[in-house]
Amino acid sequence: MFSIKSSKQRIVLFGAMAGCLLSGLPAVTLAQSLPGLTLWGGVERKDQLNYRLDFGGQADQWDRYRLKIPSNKMELGVAEFAISYPDYYKGKFDTKRIEVLVKDKAVPLQEVKWDKENHLLQIYLKEPIQAGNKVEIHLSNVKNPPFGGIYYFECRILTPGDVPLPRYLGTWMLSIS
């Protein structure tokens, strides 16, 4: 009789412990975005750009990145966007599925180049975007890297008619889980 009572107590105890563990785990969200709380980011708050991952940012899965640039960062016109990413990012981009939106309207693109060796995505525009506009860059059909982590995507622009030197706008700190 003693062993039956003790095994019932164990079952109740293990059930309670399992319930506590399961309730403590965060729910998986459908989309991720920044800003959030960054304890050790290496990027100043003023340089962080917002983003959204439409399909949750799960490792080794397909996703859509919505990379946002606020109007106050767009101090100059833009003829080209250059997005660099770290060498440890092993995701894949579909250059045919990239859009640049201004005021929720797609801007015609001249060309998109993916330089895998230099970890650079270059987006050439047919017509420059005027200064002071809010911009969203949509990278659709992206294959997330096989391992989760924080990936720093830096945004630089080339301005029309200016010295062809890229100007830093900010950094998207993408979190892949």
What DSSP string describes 76-94? S-EEEEEEE--TT---B--
* Interatomic CA distance for residues 41 and 70, integer angstroms: 20
Q: What is the pLDDT of residues 14-50, one digit of tens each?
A: 555 555 444 444 444 444 444 444 445 567 888 899 9
Domain definitions of the chain by residue range: 30-176
User: Interior CA angle at 51 toward 141 and 140, to 5°?
Assistant: 10
User: Are the C-beta atoms of 69 and 52 separated by less than 8 Å?
Assistant: no
Q: Which CATH class is domain 30-176?
A: mainly beta
Q: What is the pLDDT of residues 63-72, one digit of tens each?
A: 999 999 999 9
pTM of the prediction?
Answer: 0.76
Find the distance separating the first CA and the last CA of the chain, reported in whole Å.
49
